[in-house]
């Protein structure tokens, strides 16, 4: 979708805010201020109360660029879809907040029926808790003294905090830290699905770790997690299903072994956006940790779904980057203001929403390039375009806030409080 950026309201000649008055007084004879253009920088907008936002009636096309936008109707449909399908399949949703890093979206996920959220980093957990989210599973093992201490301090204030562990040594450190704080920590054992990235091998090693957690004085075993990142983007539904079920079989067997040994298996968490409708077929599986489903992106749309083999359209793309055309002087191409610092260099590259016959590249730091298949086609300087993102998680981490849009109007401004919380 594209629209002209100069959205001039000829009816209202009044200058509405001090910034414009200030600017126009600066050099009255020499500076031509287009005072009728509604346009707000991100720093101005961050001070808008919801009431003022509502009164001001800002269109998405008034936003300064590059800006990160989320379409509320699509976001809400994605939330409902995950909830409906997981419920239908007899499991729960525990969405991964690493994707959005935004407490407001976590609140919507909880309101939609999620049993809690996941976080990748202890700093994300702290931010979420600070903003009222109190059912949190940290899926990454914390190995340094400092992070272990932070995780256990969080647990002290947040009774529904659960921490993953993947080694006996780490479990002992967690137990010592929990004892020192006078608490009992809730723990899941992270089981490796065969990627050898994190987790302990399934079977006997995982069982022994679960037994140790169960015995250590200040830990409470809650079950396991097994996230198979390598299966999420397998192309084609049947191939993805086969790989997922093959690779999670050992984790499912481990849950069976734990149950036989009298251990707690109330949690068997894992899976993501690519396998949310497959994971429940594993015996004992309890909840899916999908993250990207809220926003979607070109990487996910390319994998194909159960009912549409070309496009994975179980969830729709809600997240876009608004960008402005800066240069239209060269045939067959234009330059925009959204390069690598606004879009990342992940691939497949971003795509202009609602358009075909053109290729976007965000390889330059500051500039995007749009090449048209038909060289006579173009956009003009000042026009704004919406881009569907390549890979949502790293894009979100580039912005302080996102604009929540409904019917092209800015309905809310959501702070990405977890931005940069990577430790
Ligand atoms: C442990 C864990 N669970 C769940 C997810 C969510 O995956 P997706 O965004 O593909 O749904 C991730 C993403 O990397 C993850 O690392």
Q: Is the CB of 265 under 6 A from ligand 1?
A: no
User: What's the distance, CA 295 to chain centroid?
Assistant: 7
Task: For residue 272, report the distance from its CA to the centre of ligand 1, in Å.
Answer: 5
pLDDT in tens, 121-138: 999 999 999 999 999 999
Are 360 and 387 a contacting pair, CB within 8 Å? yes
How far apart (Å, rounded) are the C-alpha atoms in residues 231 and 270? 11
Nearest to 263 by CA among 228, 216, 226, 227: 216
Q: Is the CB of 317 under 6 A from ligand 1?
A: no
Give the pLDDT confidence score for residue 11 in this predicted structure: 43
Ligand 1 atom nearest 229 alpha carbon: 14
pLDDT in tens, 381-392: 999 999 999 999
DSSP string over 204-239: HHHHHHHHHHHHSTTEEEEEEEE--GGGTT-SSHHH
Within 10 Å of residue 110's Cβ, how many Cβ atoms?
17
Q: Is the CB of 375 under 6 A from ligand 1?
A: no
pLDDT in tens, 205-252: 999 999 999 999 999 999 999 999 999 999 999 999 999 999 999 999
Task: For residue 290, report the distance from its CA to the centre of ligand 1, in Å.
Answer: 6
Give the pLDDT confidence score for residue 358 in this predicted structure: 97
Ligand 1 atom nearest 225 alpha carbon: 1
pLDDT in tens, 160-186: 999 999 999 999 999 999 999 999 999
pTM (predicted TM-score): 0.91
DSSP strand pairing (358-361 vs 319-327) = unpaired
Task: For residue 107, report the distance from its CA to the centre of ligand 1, in Å.
Answer: 19
Task: For residue 257, report the distance from its CA to the centre of ligand 1, in Å.
Answer: 26
Task: For residue 295, report the distance from its CA to the centre of ligand 1, in Å.
Answer: 13
Structure tokens at 285: 């599986």
pLDDT in tens, 37-50: 466 788 888 888 88
How far apart (Å, rounded) are the C-alpha atoms in residues 417 and 106? 12
pLDDT (mean) for 334-354: 98
Q: Is the CB of 303 under 6 A from ligand 1?
A: no
Of the two residues 3 and 359, the one the predictor is more confident about is 359
From atom 4 of ligand 1, which residue's Cα is the shortest distance away? 289
Structure tokens at 243: 């790989």
Q: Which helix (H) or strand (E) holds 186?
A: strand 185-192
Q: Dihedrals φ, ψ of 27, to 5°?
A: -150, 70
Round the average pLDDT of the chain to a whole number and report it. Answer: 92
From atom 14 of ligand 1, which residue's Cα is the shortest distance away? 229
Are 368 and 381 a contacting pair, CB within 8 Å? no
Task: For residue 292, report the distance from its CA to the centre of ligand 1, in Å.
Answer: 8
Question: For residue 202, is pLDDT > 80?
Answer: yes
From atom 3 of ligand 1, which residue's Cα is the shortest distance away? 289
Residue 380: HSE in the Cβ half-sphere, 13 Å Cα cutoff = 4
Which residues, including other chains, have CB under 8 Å from residue 387's CB and lie 6 or more apart? 320, 321, 322, 323, 338, 343, 350, 351, 352, 353, 360, 368
Q: Is the CB of 300 under 6 A from ligand 1?
A: no
How far apart (Å, rounded) are the C-alpha atoms in residues 35 and 9? 10
Mutate to test the pocket of ligand 1, among 227, 299, 300 (most ligand atoms within 8 A of CB): 227
Counting every residue written for the chain, the total comes to 423
pLDDT in tens, 382-421: 999 999 999 999 999 999 999 999 999 999 999 999 999 9
Structure tokens at 334: 């234009």
Structure tokens at 359: 């290729």
Residue indicated by tokens 């298996």 = 265
Domains and CATH numbers, the chain: 2-32+39-70+319-415 (2.40.37.20), 91-294 (3.20.20.10)
Are 33 and 17 a contacting pair, CB within 8 Å? no
Give the pLDDT confidence score for residue 38 in this predicted structure: 62
Q: Is the CB of 139 under 6 A from ligand 1?
A: yes
Q: Is the CB of 66 under 6 A from ligand 1?
A: no
Give buried/exposed letters for 211-225 (b at 16+ CB in 10 A, else e).
bbbbebebbebbbbb
Crossing angle of helices 122-130 and 103-111, rounded to 10°: 70
DSSP string over 269-324: EE--TTTTTTGGGSTT--EE---GGGT--HHHHTT--SS-SSS--SS---EEEEEE
């Amino acid at each position: 979708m594209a629209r002209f950026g100069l959205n001039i309201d000829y009816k209202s000649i009044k200058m509405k805010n001090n910034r414009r008055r200030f600017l126009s007084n600066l050099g009255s004879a020499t500076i031509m201020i287009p005072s009728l253009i509604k346009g707000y920088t991100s720093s101005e907008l961050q001070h808008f109360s919801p009431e003022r936002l509502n009164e001001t009636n800002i269109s998405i096309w008034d936003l300064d660029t590059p800006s990160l936008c989320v379409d509320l109707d699509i976001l809400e449909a994605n939330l409902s879809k995950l909830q409906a399908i997981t419920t239908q399949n007899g499991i729960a949703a525990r969405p991964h907040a690493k994707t959005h890093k935004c407490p407001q979206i976590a609140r919507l996920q909880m309101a939609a029926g999620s049993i809690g959220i996941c976080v990748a980093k202890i700093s994300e957990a702290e931010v979420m808790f600070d903003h009222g989210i109190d059912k949190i599973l940290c899926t990454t093992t914390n190995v340094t003294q400092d992070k272990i201490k932070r995780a256990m301090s969080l647990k002290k204030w947040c009774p529904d905090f659960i921490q993953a562990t993947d080694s006996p040594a780490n479990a002992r450190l967690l137990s010592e830290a929990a004892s020192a704080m006078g608490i009992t920590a809730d723990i899941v054992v992270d089981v490796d699905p065969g990627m050898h990235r994190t987790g302990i091998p399934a079977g006997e090693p995982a069982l022994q770790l679960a037994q140790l957690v169960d015995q250590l004085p200040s830990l409470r075993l809650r079950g396991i997690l097994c996230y198979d990142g390598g299966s999420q983007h397998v192309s084609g539904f049947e191939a993805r299903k086969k790989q997922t079920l093959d690779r999670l079989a050992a984790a499912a067997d481990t849950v069976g072994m734990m149950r036989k040994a009298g251990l707690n298996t109330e949690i068997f968490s894992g899976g993501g956006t690519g396998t949310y409708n497959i994971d429940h077929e594993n015996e004992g599986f309890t909840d899916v940790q999908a993250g990207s489903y809220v926003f979607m992106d070109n990487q996910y749309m390319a994998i194909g779904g159960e009912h549409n083999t070309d496009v994975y359209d179980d969830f729709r793309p809600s997240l876009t980057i608004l960008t402005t055309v800066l240069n239209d002087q060269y045939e067959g191409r234009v330059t925009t203001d959204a390069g690598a610092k606004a879009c990342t260099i992940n691939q497949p590259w971003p795509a202009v929403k609602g358009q075909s016959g053109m290729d976007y590249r965000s390889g330059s730091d500051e500039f995007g390039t749009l090449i048209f298949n038909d060289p006579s086609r173009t956009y003009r300087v000042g026009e704004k375009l919406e881009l569907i993102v390549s890979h949502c998680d790293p894009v979100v981490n580039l912005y302080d806030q996102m604009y929540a849009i409904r019917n092209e109007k800015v309905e809310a401004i959501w702070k990405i409080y977890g931005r940069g919380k990577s430790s």
